[in-house]
Structure 1
Amino acid sequence: MTTTNAPRDSAASAADAGGAGGAGGATAADTAERVWDNLRSLVLGRNERRKEAAEALGMSFFRVKVLRRVAAAPARLSELAAELSSDRPYTTLVVDDLAKRGLVERRPHPTDGRCKIVSATAAGHAAADRANAILGTPPASLRALPAEDLAALDRIAAALAAAE
């Protein structure tokens, strides 16, 4: 499979598809692969929200992820490392940096004296809210779709999310 950063033209895609095994010879698997390529291109290739959030907050996107996670709910360092697929030493380094920036703080765990709980400060919550606003802003190409197309995408995305 060849992956490109440009989505396929929808008219060309429809003509190529020809239905599942139809005149165009495309199978449902071919169509699913093309849809997936287009979605990945939209979200990961052309939509630079992660970069935008990192630049707005002046930190790496991994730091933004840690901050957003801690702002959502305080956590142990070990929980953060596991949830974010990172190792504990690097997660500790990131939390130390966020603490120096005044965005998180460590407090003793209420029942386990061997560990600390990382929580967001007021400044950390504000920064996480800013990142969430940036990341949650749909791309202009999506906002420009006709209402009926948006409704169809909404229905399809909800069905896909429910199936996972």
Structure 2
Amino acid sequence: MTAAERVWERMQDLVLHRHDRRRLVADALGLSFFKAKALRRLVPGPLTLGELAELLDTDRPYTTVVVDDLEQRGLVSRTVHPDDRRRKLVTVTPAGAEMAAAANRILSEPPPFFAALDADELAQLDHLLAKLDADG
């Protein structure tokens, strides 16, 4: 195994398995993580089902199922698009915005192991991640 493969494996284990925030979000909100993700995408403003499907990287029929469930829970509403009556706009409700904010709080909270790193180590990690992001 190369050093790059070993580091990638450790990063995946850390983020996807040992500190999986997706599960915490789903448990806290009583929604699948995907539905919470849909709410988070709707906070900036209304989207058509097609636009939401594209942002979620899924197909329109599945997006419709997700929106149906969110609408039944009172987390989103659908209205006729002002420029095209054949399309619907999906808007997050105040209750949905609260759920999205709760998901964002959970997702943005660093895992406890970050407390074990000192300021220099955090700065080094930040620098390395910024470098990786710039290269991607």
TM > 0.5? yes
CA RMSD of aligned residues (A): 1.3
SS in 2 for 1:116: strand
The residue number in structure 1 matching 2:6 is 34
Aligned residue pairs total: 136
Query: Which structure has the higher relative contact order (CA within 8 Å, separation 6+)?
Result: 2
The residue number in structure 1 matching 2:106 is 134
Unmatched 5+ stretches in structure 1: 2-29
Q: Give the Cα separation in 1 of the matches to 2:134 and 2:84.
A: 37
User: Bigger radius of gyration, 1 or 2?
Assistant: 1
The structure with more strand, counted as a fraction of residues: 2
- Following superposition, the deviation at residue 161 of structure 1 comes to 1.5
Q: Which amino acid aligns with 2:38?
A: V
SS in 2 for 1:54: helix
- Following superposition, the deviation at residue 54 of structure 1 comes to 0.5
The residue number in structure 2 matching 1:155 is 127
Q: Give the Cα separation in 2 of the matches to 1:125 and 1:118.
A: 13
The structure with more helix, counted as a fraction of residues: 2
SS in 2 for 1:32: helix
Aligned structure 1 segments of 4 or more residues deviating by more than 4 angstroms = none
Q: Give the Cα separation in 1 of the matches to 2:15 and 2:44.
A: 23
Q: Which amino acid aligns with 1:130?
A: A
Give me the identity figure in percent: 52
Unmatched 5+ stretches in structure 2: none
Q: Which amino acid aligns with 2:120?
A: E
